[in-house]
Structure formats: C-alpha cells, structure tokens
Amino acid sequence: MNSPGSQPVTAWIGEFTLLAALWGSSFLFMRLGASEFGPLPTAGLRVALATLFLWPIMLRQGHWPAFRQHWRPIMFAGVINSAIPFALFSWAVLHIATGLSSILNATVPLFGALVAWVWLGDRINRLRWAGLALGFVGVALLAWRAPAGTGFKTDSAEWAIGACLLASCFYGVSASFARRHLTGIPALATATGSQLGAALGLALPTLWLWPAQMPGARAWGAVVAMAVLCTGIAYILYFRLIASAGPSRALAVTFIAPVFAVLYGAVFLGERITPWMVGCALVIVCGTLLSTGLIRTLRPGRGVPEQP
C-alpha cells in the first residue's frame, strides 16, 4: 500500500484542483443563498442537507459504531467547525466581495498554528513566528484598503472582515479540538456527525429566521450546491487527497481555493479584483506557508511527513 504522499502528482492533481474549485465556489453560493434566505437559514440548510447526503454513505461504509461511541465530541466539533463559521461567512459575503472573504479564509492555517501553540503546546520556531507575523500583516493591510475598492460600504465591510477572521479563528480552534479529542475516529464518521451537530445547533435559528417569502429557484440551487458539492463531496475528496497526496499537500488547497473564488466573483457577480487584494493575498499565503512549515516540508529533496 502506498503511504500518504508517495503517489505521483498525476495520481492526485485532478482531485486537488477539483477540491479547490469546489471550495472556492462556496463563497459564490453563499452570496446567492444568503441574499434570499438570510445568513443563518443559509448555514442551517447547508449543514442539514449535507447531513442527509453524507449519512447513507457513512452507514454503507460501516462507521455507525464509531459515531455512536464518540457522538458527543463529534457533534460539538460540528458546532465550532461548521455551524458558527458557516453562519459568519454567510453574513460576511453580504457585505464584502466573495473574493475578499475567500482570501481572509486563507488565514485558517495561521490561526490553527497559533491555537495549537497555546492549547497543545506545539513548538513554533523563529521562522514560523516570522510567518505568523507576516501573515497577520497581510491581513491588516487587506483590511485597511481593500474594502474601499470593492464597491461595498466601508462601515459594513469592517464588521464583515472581522466576521471572516472570527470564523477562521473557530476553524483553528476546531483543528486543535479534533487533534485532542477526535484522533483515531474514522474521518467519514467525523464529517457526517459534525454536520449533524451543526444542523442541530442551527435548527432553531434557521426556523426562527426563515424568510417570510419563499426564496426562488436560484437561491435553493445555491444552497443545495453548497451542501452536496462544497460540503458533502468536498469532504470525501479531501479525505481521499490526504490519503493519496499527504496532509501537507492537502492543506495547500486552502491557498488555491481563493483563486477560484476571486474568479467566480468577477465572472458571475462583477466583483472587482484590485492589485491591492492580489498583493495582500500573496503576503498572507507566504506568511501561512512559513507559519505552517510547508516551505520546509515541500522543499526539494525533503519528503512530506506522515501524520503522527
């Protein structure tokens, strides 16, 4: 059996690109859905439909016993890894460009490294500290000037940027939570159960804030696409990618997805792509590569380490 990362690039590059395209499209679909459903119902429907999609797959793969044994931490993980971040991003994309929100989402590994240092005691050397500093400088520069060039009201944009960063922070917290409490549980059981936990967490807000007028076919199609393509199928692709390309290369999807998100926003929503956004995005990506150790990991002549 091939170990993670031992397969040639041609064996996984197609799934890598598809996953980046799917995750990049989620910001477009969030905008289309939230504009009619509202942020909380959009997030609630997304995780509920994703649960319906993933549940029979989990049962068919025989992972029900694992979920039943560990259902408490799995479902709690869904609240902090899906329910809260999805709701925050669904609100944010109504106030800033979807491309900008996707660039801010690329800070997840920065928060992940910082939370792991505080919570799990992960060692951060000088190079990684420099990467963290560089990444957050990129975020500060992006927040300073980018919103003014995207056609959105600056007062709303500032709060929306904060919501994106808070969502990214929750992703970082959930990653450390998973390392502490979900290690050894089948990935499909975790993915399915976490979506169920998120759906239950958002059930009351979704019903309470359900729009008085039934949303149109475009909004429904966007939410279904988010649930099936960007959540259900994307989870399956992500776990396959970890197995075939290794965890470090799988993590690099985070840096490619904003390229697709910016492109979708420009083509379908007429969003502006400013040189300032592109420059800040490059700073954030460089800082993230340093802070996560990916530059050292992917340096020629070094293999991609397997997860412990």
Model pLDDT, residue 72? 97
Report whether 42 contacts 199 (CB < 8 A).
Answer: no
Compute the mean pLDDT over every residue in the chain, rounded to the nearest whole number. 87
Q: What would the two tokens of residue 197 be?
A: 């936990």
| Distance (Å, whole) CA 270 – CA 248 | 34
38 contact partners, CB below 8 Å, separation of at least 6? 209, 211
Of 167, 35, 33, 140, nearest in space to 95 by CA? 35
Q: What DSSP letter does each residue of 132-195 carry, written as one string? A: HHHHHHHHHHHHHHGGGGTTS-HHHHHHHHHHHHHHHHHHHHHHHHHHHH-TTS-HHHHHHHHH
Per-residue pLDDT tens over the stretch 239-293:
778 777 766 667 778 888 998 999 999 999 998 888 888 898 899 989 888 887 7
| Distance (Å, whole) CA 124 – CA 120 | 12
Q: Is the pLDDT of residue 308 over 70?
A: no
| DSSP state letter for 246 | -
Establish if 2 belongs to a structural domain.
Answer: no
Establish if 75 belongs to a structural domain.
Answer: yes
Establish if 283 belongs to a structural domain.
Answer: yes
In the numeric block, the tokens 């996984």 are attached to: 12
Read off the pLDDT band of 55 (50, 70, 90): very high
Domain encompassing residue 208: 9-297
Residue type, 213: Q
Per-residue pLDDT tens over the stretch 71-98:
999 999 999 999 999 999 999 999 999 9
Q: Is the pLDDT of residue 301 over 50?
A: no
Establish if 287 belongs to a structural domain.
Answer: yes
Establish if 98 belongs to a structural domain.
Answer: yes
Q: What is the pTM of this model?
A: 0.88
Q: Is the pLDDT of residue 141 over 90?
A: no
Per-residue pLDDT tens over the stretch 195-220:
999 999 999 999 999 999 999 999 99
Establish if 3 belongs to a structural domain.
Answer: no
Q: Is the pLDDT of residue 35 over 50?
A: yes
Check residues 153 and 102 and name the one with the higher pLDDT. Answer: 102
Model pLDDT, residue 166? 97
Establish if 304 belongs to a structural domain.
Answer: no
Establish if 308 belongs to a structural domain.
Answer: no
Number of structural domains found in the chain:
1
Q: What would the two tokens of residue 4 be?
A: 């993670």
Give the rounded percent of residues in the chain with a pLDDT score beyond 70.
87
State mean pLDDT over 155-178. 91
